[in-house]
Amino acid sequence: MSREPVIVGIGLSDYPKAPHLDSLMHISQATQRALEDCGLALSDIDGFACATMPTDPELHVEAIEHLGLTPRWLNTTYTGGSAAQFQIPDAIAAIREGRAEAILFAYGSDFLSRYGRTLGTGGLTVEDGLSGPLLYEQPYGSTIATCYALAATRHMAEYGTRPEQLAEIAVGVREFASMNPNAMYREPLTVDDVLASPMIADPLHLLDCCVVSDGGAAFIITTEERGKDLQQSPIHILGAAGANSHWHIHSMPNFSTTAGTASSTEAYQQAGVQPEDIDTIQFYDSFTITALLLLEDHGFCGKGEGGGFVEEGHLRKGGSLPMNTDGGSLSSCHSGMRGTMLITEAVRQLRGHGGDSQVPDCELALAAGCGGLLSYIGTTILGRDRR
Amino acid sequence: MIDVIADQPWNRGPMDPGPIDREYFEAAAQGRLIIQKCTNCGNTQFPPKTLCVSCGQTPEWIETSGKGQVHTFTIVRRHGIEPFSGLPPFVLAMIDLPEGARLMGNVTDIDVEDVHVGQNVEAYAWRINETLALPLWRPAQN
Ligand SMILES: [Zn+2]
């Protein structure tokens, strides 16, 4: 009776624009679709993972009430967009130890419908007076985009990375988005298109930045034994780890390196695989620089060599390491925290259900979430077979 | 000592620093850029905190030279919030101090296209009210 963890059901809610759904209904819809996908019922679910966001501080308990769950195991760890990656290690321990039989991961947000498109260039509006750590950022006009731009500038200064190399990341992801009928933007892009788009915060152009959308996702982890007789081929969780370096951007210790070096080292060790074994990567691509740093820090190329690696076309359809085969957050869907969607897309590829964007002979997928401001990096390695 | 300018009215929103943070902005209004140094373990830290993050003792303040170097920067071209939405292009940078801290700030008094990593800059302060001022940066004079 193997209690090794497998992913058996996945579901996405309506995206990228769903004004008829609030965050809770995104969770509800994605959950129902994940259950239908695998054939489990809500009554089978006895574990629940759902990140508590500052903008929706009670979403997890509202979701539990709405779904009628009584979880024996609960995890609401918030690390920003990598929350799912940080919750998975505890979930797989709970499955192995018998503290849960079937764990539902769910995320959903009406970010676009609620906040509009200016999220990345906005800031906090402080009515009562600024206090705490943001005193040292907010009065200087810091935004989400400027934080990532600071990392990009530093990477360029240290390693000679060029804007057209960052742009190539957006071009490759858009190519996959063109194969996803639901993606927010599907028209093909060129590097020149990216470079000609309005500059937001040097060196990041508009098309170096992710979309803002509505959307939700859910997946279900259970035991290998339970997964055998469900509707889909179970996908094995082979490695899962998280690491952090800071929270506020002013405390980032090294502006050209993330904690992905630590999270990936541990995940590779657990899985017993090397970067060259991985067939596809599902990377947090909040900005093109995010994906570039994750590439280097997960060992797919040397430190500082990400620009040249990207230019060689590895991340494209037909390349050696296709990235973000659903169109990513750069072109398809970004509703605030994308870590859950990295897993659902990795599972879709490993099942061989990728359609036009299917990666050939896809046996190993690596998902990497990035939370906060390049702060919390989580790595999950999934396999078609147990190794 | 760093220059304190008072000829531009403060327009970047209300500031309500707590007791430790207040000392930093008060010092700036008096022409001093200060960071914390722990006499117990030697740790320097920024932003200021009530206790040393390294050993838990109460840190002291040290006055810096007010000199710094651009570690990284961006030219902000789009901003969605007042009053910053009317400011672009402006430079937001991380500044390394030789005393051992890295601070966020704006680099002003320069064509934004001329800012570069490694550039030497010096601090000045923009008066917020009678007691507080915000440190900013401009190219070093020599
Ligand atoms: Zn100390």
What would the pLDDT profile of A60-80 be if each residue is shown by its tens digit?
999 999 999 999 999 999 999
Q: B40 CA to chain A: closest CA distance, Å?
A: 22
Cβ separation B92–A140 shorter than 8 A: yes
pLDDT of A126 > 70? The answer is: no
Q: What rounded mean pLDDT belongs to chain A?
A: 96
Q: How confident is the model at residue A52 (pLDDT cuts 50, 70, 90)?
A: confident
Categorize the per-residue pLDDT at A56 as very low, low, confident or very high, splitting at 50, 70 and 90: confident
Ligand 1 mean position, distance from CA A2 (Å): 50
**Residue A387 — pLDDT band, cuts 50, 70, 90?**
confident
Residues of B in contact with A118 (CB under 8 A): 80
Would you call A202 and B15 a contact, using CB atoms and an 8 Å cutoff? no
Q: Using one digit for the tens of pLDDT, what is the confidence trace for A283-326?
A: 999 999 999 999 999 999 999 999 999 999 999 999 999 999 99
Confidence (pLDDT) at A119: 63
CA A200 to chain B, closest CA, distance in angstroms equals 5
Q: Which residues of A touch B12 (CB under 8 A)?
A: 139
Contact B81 A122 (CB under 8 A): yes
Neighbours of A274 (CB within 10 A): 9
**Residue from A295, A345, A45 nearest A182 by CA:** A345
Low-confidence ranges of chain B (pLDDT < 50): none
Name the pairing type of β-strands A47-49 and A215-223.
unpaired
ipTM of the assembly? Answer: 0.97
Structural domain boundaries enclosing A226: 5-115+212-383
Mean pLDDT for A206-233 is: 96
Q: Do B18 and A151 touch (CB under 8 A)?
A: no
Q: Give the list of residues 6+ apart from residue B135 with CB closer than 8 angstroms, or none.
A: B2, B28, B33, B103, B105, B123, B124, B125
Q: Structural domain of residue B45, as residue ranges?
A: 3-139
Domain count, chain B: 1
Q: How confident is the model at residue A127 (pLDDT cuts 50, 70, 90)?
A: low
CA dist., res. A197 & res. A334, Å (int): 20
| pLDDT the model gives residue A258 | 98
Q: How far apart (Å, rounded) are the C-alpha atoms in residues B109 and B97?
A: 19
Total beta-carbon pairs less than 8 A apart between chain A and chain B: 115
Whether residue A152 is contained in a domain is answered as no
What's the pLDDT tens digit per position in B63-74? 999 999 999 999
- Domain presence at residue A41: yes
Of A161 and A54, more confident: A161
The fraction of chain A above a pLDDT of 70, given in percent, is 97
Sole residue written with tokens 């900013």 = B136
Strands A280-283 and A364-371: parallel
Tokens representing A81 are 């967009």
A361 inside domain: yes
CA of B57 to the centre of ligand 1 (A): 5
Question: Sign of the C-alpha dihedral, residues A35, A36, A39, A42?
Answer: positive
Chain B hits for A126, Cβ within 8 Å: 13-14
Contact yes or no for A293/A300 (Cβ under 8 A):
no
Sign of CA dihedral B46, B50, B54, B59: positive
| Number of domains chain A is built from | 1
In a domain? residue A174: no
CA–centroid distance, A154 to ligand 1, in Å, is 30
Rounded to whole angstroms, the Cα distance separating A318 from A322 reads: 7
What is the domain-level CATH number for residue A87? 3.40.47.10
* pLDDT tens-digit series, residues A270-290: 999 999 999 999 999 999 999
**pLDDT > 90? residue A38:** yes
Using a CB-CB cut-off of 8 Å, the residues of chain A touching B25 are 135
Does this model's pTM top 0.95? My answer is yes
> CB A145 to CB B94 under 8 A?
no
- At A118, the pLDDT band (50, 70, 90 cuts) reads low
> For the sheet containing A5-12, what is the strand order?
A73-75, A47-49, A102-109, A215-223, A5-12, A235-244, A376-383, A364-371, A280-283
Q: Residue A141: closest CA among chain B residues belongs to which residue?
A: B84
Residue A169 covered by a domain: no
Whether A221 has a pLDDT exceeding 80, the answer reads yes
**What is the Å distance from ligand 1's center to B61 Cα?**
12
Closest residue of chain A to B48, computed from CA coordinates:
A133
CA of A100 to the centre of ligand 1 (A): 44
